[in-house]
Structures are given as C-alpha cells and as structure tokens.
Amino acid sequence: MVTKLLKYFQKRLSLEDRIKCIQEGNDKDRNELIKEYIPFIQKTASQQLDRFIEIENNDMYSISLMAFNEAIDKYNSQKGSFLSFASMVIKSRIIDQLRKESKSSSLVFSSIEDNENFEQSGLLAVDSFESKLETREDMNQLIKRMAEFDVTLDDLVNESPKHMDTRLMAIKIGRYIFENKELRDKLVKTLNLPSNQIIYELQVSKKILQRSRKFIIAIVLILDSNLDTMKYYITQIERRG
C-alpha cells in the first residue's frame, strides 16, 4: 500500500521535482526513475550511434545508463528541461567512449584513413569519463586473435592498400567472408583465406588476395569483435567509396 501511494504522488510531481527529491537522497525513486526512462536512454543512444542498441550485454547501453544517472546528479533548473540535459550527457559520454576506443585504434587507422578527421562536430563532452576496462579487453582480444593468423597491428597499417579502389575491394572481401558462415569457418579452421572460393565467387584477382591477405583477415576479425569504433571507421571508408 505504501509503495502504491508513493507511486501515486510521484506521478503527480513534475520530472524536475522528482529529480530534486532524488538529489536530496531519495535513492528508491532514483531506481524507479531510471527504470521508467530505459526506453528514452536506449533511444538516445541508438540515435547517437545511428544503429539500434540492445539492452543486454551492450557496453554502449551501460555507458548511457551511467550517463543518465550522472545527469540526475548534475541537473539543475538553469540547464533547461531535464530530458534535454540528460540527452546531451548521454551523447557526450558515448562520444567520450568512442574517442577513447579511437586512441586504441589510432595507430591502425591513422594510415588507413589518410589522417582524415572523423570527430563528431558540435557536440562536446560535459566532463571526462573514465576508460572502460572492457574496451581494453576487447582490443587485447582482437590482438590475440590476429596473432593466431600471424597478423599484427603493424601489419594492418603496413599492408593497408594504398589506393582507395584496392582498399575498398579488400574491405568488400573481408565483409563478404565475415557475412558468409562457410567462408568464415574455413578461415578460422585453416587460419588462411579460402582463396579459390573467393576468387570464383567475387571474381577478384589472386594478386589482390596475396597483397592484401593480412589486411583482409584483420577486417574479418574486427567485424567479428566488439570494437564499435573500428567497425565505424571501416563503414566510413566504404561510404567514401
């Protein structure tokens, strides 16, 4: 009965008034508020990343959830509506995370991207955000997987095709392998490209496969990783083509 009564009064408070009560120490309403606004958090994150964000086992969703909680603590009426402020904090935290992931992959993509700048314009971080351990673990996992194929980060940079047409073709081959379970399984089993099948199905030259072998393998492994920023750069190269 007490819970129902509490919810009754909560619904009659404005959102901003509820935030003020939470800031005064009402942790129970904090949890209730976060639950109520999960769809808002998910939608905001999805819009910022331009793709649907799952709630389960998703680093970007976890970051967005923490950002919403941070917005609760830092909000005041001078910052306008709470939801506008929360949206800005969520987007800023996502950008922070993408930039930090970029630092891990900057060596790889500074050469691949010809030093082009892909920073999001017009959106600035509110505060610094601590680096996520999961990101480092994902990067380390990728490095270990590449090592199984005798591929290093230096190889990825050095063997990146210099001409855009060749680079796009190598990425196309990598994505084709990733999206084709049979080819992907062969790659994992043999630790090498299924060259004959790729040449037949994609009508590409053997020379391209030989020259871009490590780069193509790395593309497959990146697409099969949790490193969203590196996947983003790959997508940007494809779009520029």
pLDDT tens digits along 54-102: 888 788 899 999 999 999 999 988 878 899 999 999 988 888 888 776 6
Number of helices (H) and strands (E) in the chain: give both, helices first.
Answer: 14, 0
- The answer to whether 167 touches 211, Cβ cutoff 8 Å, is no
What's the 3-state SS for 88-134? HHHHHHHHHHHHHHHHHHHHHHHHHCCCCCCCCCCCCCCCCCCCCHH
pLDDT tens digits along 175-230: 999 999 999 999 999 999 999 999 999 999 888 888 899 999 999 998 988 777 67
Compute how many other C-beta atoms are within 10 angstroms of the C-beta atom of residue 2.
6
**Cα 193 from chain centre:** 27
- Nearest to 145, CA basis, from 222, 212, 58, 231: 222
DSSP class of residue 79 equals: G
User: Cα(155)–Cα(158) distance, rounded to whole angstroms?
Assistant: 5
Q: Give the chain's radius of gyration (CA, Å).
A: 23
3-state secondary structure of 130: coil
User: Cα(114)–Cα(235) distance, rounded to whole angstroms?
Assistant: 15
pLDDT tens digits along 109-166: 544 444 333 333 333 333 333 333 345 667 778 888 889 999 887 777 777 787 888 8
If pLDDT is split at 50, 70 and 90, which confidence band does 241 have? low
- Nearest to 74, CA basis, from 59, 92, 56: 92
Name all domains of the chain by residue range, CATH numbers in brackets: 2-110 (1.10.1740.10), 133-240 (no CATH)
User: Cα(214)–Cα(236) distance, rounded to whole angstroms?
Assistant: 20
This prediction's pTM: 0.49
User: Cα(174)–Cα(155) distance, rounded to whole angstroms?
Assistant: 16
- Nearest to 153, CA basis, from 97, 207, 112: 112
